[in-house]
Amino acid sequence: MRPSPAEIVRTLVAGRLPGLVHVAHRPGPHHARHVTDPDGRVLLLVPVVSDLAAALRPVDGGSDVPTVLDVLDLPPSAGAPSLGRAWVSGWATPLHGAEARAAALDFAAVEPTGDLLDVGTRFRLFGFEVVEARWERAGAVRRIDPGAYAEAEPDPLHAAEGGLLADLADQHADRMVTYLRRQLGLADGGPGTAPQVVRLDRYGMLVAYGRPAARRRARLTFPRPLAEPADLARLLRPVLRPCAGTPHRAEHA
């Protein structure tokens, strides 16, 4: 299994990556702190005195503003492939009262910043339901059904991916290389050819192997989707012992 396009978009816009906000008919884009709540609604934490706050101010008596959140994936290491870019759009509106307090709790669950304590004074929360979603990768743009987007869940490993990969490379390199070679049917090709895990998600790991000028990739699928980063350690425990099991299925990419 692989993450669906809707899952990838939910993962990219979840709030762990920097985002740019484009506001219709206004100068921009604007850097913004954002998260998505459990239903996929976008929440923006905006300084009251800022260009973005001015751009989000409705005109002509309206209450909301057409807004696009633009997020580009940041691969966890040099040479790792990108998940691409996501755009989600909707009609941003300021949140007040009980709605703002509930949104602040949702925001804190992803990014527990102290600035949330100043919502209503120095900061304001805006939110919008996603009415359009797009995913770009390798030069192709794909539209994502808003219903599929809302039902998808962000990948639980994404926020910890860099640390997990570093741990595999630094603490368990020899056994991981031995295991990956066995799973992929690879011989020792000499210096610089050892297989390496370059990306992780809830469904599996992407492995790069071969000579630097002709690197190839293969995907190893987990026997079940992972629910949290700690599941990876439990799943790989047999692999990191001297006699490794076979908890993955290989699929060459």
Q: Which domain holds residue 36?
A: 5-154
Last residue of some domain: 154, 180, 206? Answer: 154
Largest CA distance in the chain: 70
Span 197-217, pLDDT tens digits: 999 999 999 999 888 777 889
CATH number of the domain encompassing residue 53: 2.30.110.10
Query: Within this chain, do residues 121 and 222 fall inside the same structural domain, yes or no?
Result: no
Same structural domain for residues 223 and 107?
no
Q: Mutual orientation of helices 229-236 and 161-171 as an angle, nearest 10°?
A: 30
The per-residue pLDDT for range 109-150, each reduced to its tens digit, is 999 999 999 999 999 999 999 999 999 999 999 999 999 999
Query: Where residue 246 sits, what CATH number does that domain have?
Result: 3.20.180.10
Domain identity same for 171 and 106: no
The model carries a pTM of: 0.90
Q: Are residue 211 and residue 96 in the same domain, yes or no? A: no
Whether the pLDDT of residue 61 is over 70: the answer is no
Closest to 41 in 3D by CA, of 109, 89, 81: 89
- At residue 174 the predicted structure's pLDDT band, cuts being 50, 70 and 90, is confident
Q: Mean pLDDT lowest for which of 19-33, 193-207, 226-240?
A: 226-240
User: Number of folded domains in the chain?
Assistant: 2
Pairing status of strand 196-201 against strand 204-209: antiparallel
Q: Which two tokens stand for residue 98?
A: 């009980």
